[in-house]
Amino acid sequence: MTRRTLTLALLLAVASGHVSGEDFDDRRIVDLTHAFDAETIYWPTDTQGFRLERLAFGETEGGWFYSANALCTAEHGGTHLDAPIHFFLGGVPIQKIPLERLIGPGVVVDISRQAAADSDYRLTTADVMTHEARSGPIPKGALVLLRTGWSARWPDVKAYLGDDTPGDASRLSFPSYGAGAARLLIEERQVAVLGVDTASIDYGRSGDFVVHRLAAEHQVPLLENLTNLDALPHTGFTVIALPMKIAGGSGAPVRVIAFLPASQ
């Protein structure tokens, strides 16, 4: 077994408690992360966007190739993780989020049909109950990922956010979680993380960011701007979401991946 395979197998073992290195080859990996580039979508008030400055690229005086860049990005753009400190004074920053929260069983709740009919749709408690009736109870410590279908609109800013006015977030329109459903998932199901394939864990027209505030007060991290949720089953997979470890950060770019049986 290679070191890489062993490392991944150990991560799976932490998440599920029963996955061994021997059956790692029977699993596949799905990348749930948008690449960062000039087209990366940021919250409208983060107007600087993503910048990658080339510092070196080419052959050195010593005769070998060398490449290096400098990058600049706001915390809350592209596929990223919101730390509880983002909306709660007593919330933990990025570097203090327990790793156990960021590795665990994944659940996809699919509201793409409802969202296609209503761009302001919010997940309801009835939607959660319907999901559980079909796929089983959402386990404690799950990373719940809400599929709206919005990632197919990336990187068209107006189609994705509902408005493309720089510096103005007052006319956005996209689906996400409703307060009641979020409360059920956080307080009763005791999930570890909430994630979504839109720009915010609150729907676009939200003026009070109630889901952000509720999650932050319960120290629940959030994943935003996910992609490829359509490649996942409703259950039966493992999620690993590791952000850049920014000391004091309210958010950070994150690489999110899912492991699932190759047969799924």
Q: Single out the residue of 178, 248, 229, 200 nearest to residue 41, CA to CA.
A: 200
* Residue 34 bears catalytic tag: no
Which residue type, as a one-letter code, is found at position 138? I
Task: Give the DSSP letter string of the chain.
Answer: --HHHHHHHHHHHHHHS---GGGGGGEEEEE-BPPPSTT--B-TT--S--EEEEEEEEE-TTSSEEEEEEEE--SSBSSEEE-GGGT-TT---GGGS-HHHHEEEEEEEE-HHHHHH-TT-EE-HHHHHHHHHHH-PPPTT-EEEEE-SGGGGTT-HHHHHS---TT--TT----EE-HHHHHIIIIIS--SEEEESSS-SB-TT-SS-HHHHHHHHTT--EEESB--GGGS-SSSEEEEEEE---TT-SEEEEEEEEEEETT-
Catalytic residue among 86, 131, 212, 218: 86
Nearest-angstrom CA–CA distance, 51 and 36: 9
Strand bridging mode 122-123 / 176-177: parallel
**Residues assigned a catalytic role:** 86
